[in-house]
Amino acid sequence: MPTSPSTDNASLHSPLVVNATPTHGEMIVKLFQQSLLDNLDDGVIFVNNRLNIISWNKKLESMTGISWGKVEGLKMTPQLVGFSASDGTTILDSNNPLLNALKTGSSIQGEYRLVGRSGRQHKVEMSFNPVIDARGQTHGGVVLIHDASIQLDLQRQLKDLYRFSMLDPLTQVSNRLEFEKAMEEFVRSRHASGLKCSLIVTDIDFFKKINDNFNHHIGDLALVAFADLLRKFVRTEDVVARYGGEEFVIICADCDLEAASQRAEEIRVELTESPQPMLGGQCITASFGVAEVEDNDTATDLFVRADCALLEAKELGRNRVVAAQASIIPGRPDMKKVDGATLGMSWRNIANGTLICEEYTTSTPLSIIIEKLRGYIIETEAEIRSVESDFASLNIERFDPQKRGRKGRFILEIEFNEKLIHLDKETKRRETQTVIRLNIREQKKGWFSANANELAPDVIAELRRHLMITEVDLKLRPKPISSAAKER
């Protein structure tokens, strides 16, 4: 006589009740099955029709912090397992998704939150599947629990890595690498589409005094405040980035020189009218250089022109906007001389009173040389006497190492010249070298002139390091003061 369904269900309500001693073969199969369950990457729960737990694998023990021995035969409820809705709200026993799956005979999947006994939260994907035989009779269910936390952690790490590679960690605007990539793309797009594109280069005036008078932490806060202000003036298609130190850049898409200059002026005015709490309510100022992409410009051309305009703004007294003109770029493509000829510039005559003159040829791009010179000026606190696109004159002070408090002052003149080495007629790509001439002149007769032979080589060596000039680049060796004087 066949066993009735009620009898079958009754036997399942009491799991693990064994009516006969299992055979050796059955024990081996059970061992294999348990080994398989324990080595799965997902949590697994077997329940009968009353939701009593029949089996619980090691992965689930790890996720919940509950060992199999403590849950054997217990009713599987959301509270027992520690899972809730994905937003953290409680799932009532009456709305247990496994119970609904058994009633409907259909699988139910969803995202949930699982909190283990240790308090660690997991975002999990759970699948509730009824176990149905060939006659359509339900014998219980299987719950599969996939821990999605690992993927979420990986996604979070990738997002952090992306942010780290794209953003300046202090100010959270784009970093220099991202700016340089964007510059190349914007210049290419401008040449392809004909749309206007401009660049603003700016930095905080006398930033070193902020660090000296307050501290570097306050200086960092000032940089963050400046970056936040710049962010207010950019559109979605623009890019604002920290180029380095206190210098920032803004790529202004679809924006001509006049519009970009007006935007820079608006930023400058608002900055001067914005008291900074970290500075005790004082306001800070900034200088701005603006340039527009011209025909045949490279990204380097654009940056050099804007950066030169920034230097001019500082030379004119800071806290102002200077718009660059295309004509100040050294080595414009409309200058046709090739075959190693110098592009568009000639050397100045060596002035009277020159103590030392050196000339170098280096493969370092002119834009980088100019940037390194800016760093030298800031670090040595040199005073700018005059600056042009291809020339800078600085006042330099040096202290007497033998007598404390005594110092000498002299003039350092730096000339830049770009030399065309090769021009590919098909691609129009140019290979250039940068020629640099350094002159040290006495500002007035005195202590430095008498000690120039000893001090000048150190000054020259210091400047070489900043400009990345090696001995290989040196064309004319330093001339002693006596030799230079005789030649004049």
The C-alpha atoms of residue 471 and residue 458 are separated, in whole angstroms, by 14
List helix spans (H) across 233-256.
Answer: none
411 to 440, 445, 456: CA distances (angstroms): 6, 12, 11
> Of 282, 446, 265, 462, which is closest to residue 372 (Cα–Cα)?
462
420: number of Cβ within 10 Å: 19
Structure token digits, residue 470:
């090696």
Catalytic residue among 246, 292, 312, 442: 246
Q: Which residues make Cβ contacts (< 8 Å) with residue 200, sequence separation at least 6?
A: 249, 250, 252, 260, 263, 264, 288, 289, 290, 306
Q: How many CB atoms lie within 10 A of CB 214?
A: 16
Confirm if 338 and 274 have CB atoms less than 8 A apart.
no
- CA pair distance 211, 389, nearest whole angstrom: 30
C-alpha 359/C-alpha 347 separation (Å) is 11
Question: What ranges in 355-407 are assigned the alpha helix state H?
Answer: 366-380
Strand 391-399 to 286-292 pairing: unpaired
How far apart are alpha carbons 197 and 191 in whole angstroms? 10
- Give catalytic status of residue 180 as yes or no: no
Report the alpha-carbon distance of residue 447 to residue 476 in Å, rounded.
26
Residue listed under structure tokens 């149905």: 132
So which residues are the catalytic ones? 246
